[in-house]
Amino acid sequence: MTDIEYVRAADQGSALALVAEDPDAVFLAGGTTELDLALKDQVVHPSRFVDIGRLPLRGVTRDGDRLRVAALTTMEELAADPTVRERLPFVREALLLGASTQLRNMATIGGNLLQRTRCRYFRDPDVGACNKRDPGSGCAAIEGVARMHAILGAGPSCIALHASDLCVPLVAMDAEVELLDADGTRTVPLTEFYRTPGDRPDVENVLRHGELVTHVQVPLLPDGARSGYLKVRDRTSYEFATTSAGAAVTVEDGTITWAKLGLGGVGTMPWRAWEAESVLVGAPASERTFRAAAEAAIRDPFTVPGTAFKVELAKRTIVRILRTVTS
């Protein structure tokens, strides 16, 4: 038996306290990642689930040109939000291309940000070498079957992929994460929320123990901007991305005046393609520009034989989405 305590938090304060007091306690929201890892794969070993599912952290509010999404809003709820439909269409696309309806009814936005990698070496406790699970033990995936793995941010210690679709447009749009603990709140840009593995693949983000994601703020697309999310995968539905790209651009008189680009399926964290954006802004909306942006985005990839194809595929994915949103 897994010997994990379950406590349903009555309010935010007790939720924070229940996790803070026990270094092995975790928040339990939708559960679609946490229960899978703790109960089924048994690769994480919390002492206590603090169920925050009934806390009043649900719903979407608009604050000027920003959207504020409470962390327990489900993926389906966010996809159905009228402002998301109209002003962040690529967020909606990414949401609905992720998982299944059943999972989207359970999974929360906060949980989506914090989802763990799908690497089957990480997720199998019988695999000994996993720096993410057991720092210093090595990485079996690097010499193993690595297809759904990262080429950006990856290195010899870890090639585990962050598989979120939603985070791709969010990271592109400079979304910010509101965090809360007993000491108060802080707001962290999503682009600074995640860490690349380096020599500590077990540390995936800047979240401190006991700190709760309460909201995600997303700037809305500026007037006239167009966006799109392209997910490339073998199975037509219900599969994690092999590569994906979320782009938002404004084009005036054939020239790109504003551009945001996020990448999925390639990074150890949701990947913001800053260099590509620099290439795009001020350049003509042309195939040559798109290809130059793609080259800039996928610079210095870390590949293993199973992931080498992603270098070119990711570039083509970028070119295609840019062509789509500028046409």
Partner 1 sequence: MTATLAKENVIGRPIDRIDGRRKVAGAAPYPSDFDLPGQVHAALVSSTIAAGRITRIDRSKAEAAPGVLRVLTYDNAPTLTDPPQNALGSTMRRPLRDDRILHYGQHIGIVVANTRAQAVAAARLVEIEYAEEEPVLDIDDPRAAVEDNPFGMASSRGDVPAALAAADVTVDGTYTIGAEANSPMGLFTTVASWQGGRLVVHDTTQAPSFLRVALAVMFEVPEENVRVLIPFLGGGFGAGLRLWSHTVLTTLAARVLDRPVKLVLSRPQMFHSVGHRAASRQRVQLGADRDGRLTAIDHDAIAANGLGDHLPSPIVAVTPSTYACDNVATHERRAHLNIPFTGFMRAPGAIEAHFALESALDELADQTGVDPVELRLRNYAEVHPVSGKPWSSKALRDCLEVGSERFGWPGRDPAPRSTHDGDQLVGQGMASATFEFYALPCTVRLVVDRRGNATVRTAGTDIGTGTYTITAQLTAELLGIDVDQVRVVIGDTDQPPAPQSGGSGLAGALGAAIQDAASELADQLARLDGHPGESFASLLDRHGLDELEVTGYSDLAGAATHADVAPAGAFAAAFAEVGVDEDLGLIRVRRLVSVIDGGRVFNAKTARSQAIGGAVMGIGMAMLEELAYDPNTGRVANGTFGDYLVPVNRDVPDLDITFVGEPDTFNPTGSKGLGEIGIVSIAPAIANAVYHATGRRIRDLPITLDKML
Partner 2 sequence: MSSATTARSTQVTVELRVNGRTYPVRLDSTTTLLDALRDELHLTGTKKGCDQGACGACTVLRDGKRIVSCLALAAQCDGSEITTIEGLAEDGHPHPMQEAFVRHDALQCGYCTTGQVMSAVALLREGRTGSDDEIREFMSGNLCRCAAYPNIVAAIREVADS
- Identify the sign of the CA torsion 239, 73, 202, 51: negative
35 binds, among partner 1, partner 2, none (CB under 5 to 8 A by kind): partner 2
- What does DSSP assign to residue 221? P
Contacting residues for 44 by C-beta, under 8 A, at least 6 apart: 26, 34, 37, 38
- What does DSSP assign to residue 38? I
Describe the crossing of helices 309-326 and 287-297 by its angle, rounded to 10 degrees: 140
Count the Cβ atoms, other than its own, within 10 Å of residue 296.
Answer: 19
Is there binding between residue 237 and partner 1 (CB under 8 A)?
yes
Count the Cβ atoms, other than its own, within 10 Å of residue 312.
Answer: 12
The nearer residue to partner 1, 262 or 265, going by C-beta atoms, is: 265
Is there binding between residue 319 and partner 1 (CB under 8 A)?
yes
In whole angstroms, how large is the CA radius of gyration of the chain? 19
Is there binding between residue 242 and partner 1 (CB under 8 A)?
yes
* Among 26, 28, 57, 109, contact with partner 2 (rule: CB under 8 A): 28
316 binds, among partner 2, partner 1, none (CB under 5 to 8 A by kind): partner 1
253 binds, among partner 1, partner 2, none (CB under 5 to 8 A by kind): none
User: Which residues are 230's β-sheet partners?
Assistant: 245
Helix, strand or coil, per DSSP, at residue 36: helix
Map residues 114-143 to x or -, x wherever contact with partner 1 holds by CB under 8 A: ----x-xx--xxxx------------x--x
Is there binding between residue 236 and partner 2 (CB under 8 A)?
yes
292 binds, among partner 1, partner 2, none (CB under 5 to 8 A by kind): none
* Among 26, 27, 43, 49, contact with partner 2 (rule: CB under 8 A): 49
Q: Which of 219, 214, 218 is nearest to 70 (CA)?
A: 214
Is there binding between residue 94 and partner 2 (CB under 8 A)?
no
| Least distance from partner 2 to the Cβ atom of residue 64, Å | 31
* Among 68, 195, 200, 320, contact with partner 1 (rule: CB under 8 A): 320
Stretch that binds partner 1, among 53-61, 169-177, 280-288, 314-322 (CB under 8 A): 314-322
Is there binding between residue 327 and partner 1 (CB under 8 A)?
no
- Identify the sign of the CA torsion 278, 314, 173, 249: positive
- For the beta sheet containing 176-181, the strands, ordered from the edge strand earlier in sequence to the opposite edge, are 60-63, 66-70, 212-219, 176-181, 184-189
Q: Is 306 left (phi over 0), alpha (psi -120 to 50) or beta?
A: alpha
| Least distance from partner 1 to the Cβ atom of residue 97, Å | 11
* Among 11, 183, 192, 312, contact with partner 1 (rule: CB under 8 A): 312
| Least distance from partner 2 to the Cβ atom of residue 110, Å | 15
Cα dihedral angle (73, 75, 77, 83), rounded to 10 degrees?
A: 100
Count the Cβ atoms, other than its own, within 10 Å of residue 167.
Answer: 29
* Among 135, 144, 155, 301, contact with partner 1 (rule: CB under 8 A): 144
User: Which residues in this chain contact partner 2 in the complex, by CB under 8 A?
Assistant: 1-10, 14, 17-18, 21, 28, 31-32, 35-36, 38-41, 49, 51, 53, 76, 99-103, 105-106, 236-238
User: Which residues in this chain contact partner 1 in the complex, by CB under 8 A?
Assistant: 1-2, 42, 118, 120-121, 124-127, 140, 143-145, 147-148, 232-240, 242, 309, 312-313, 316-317, 319-320
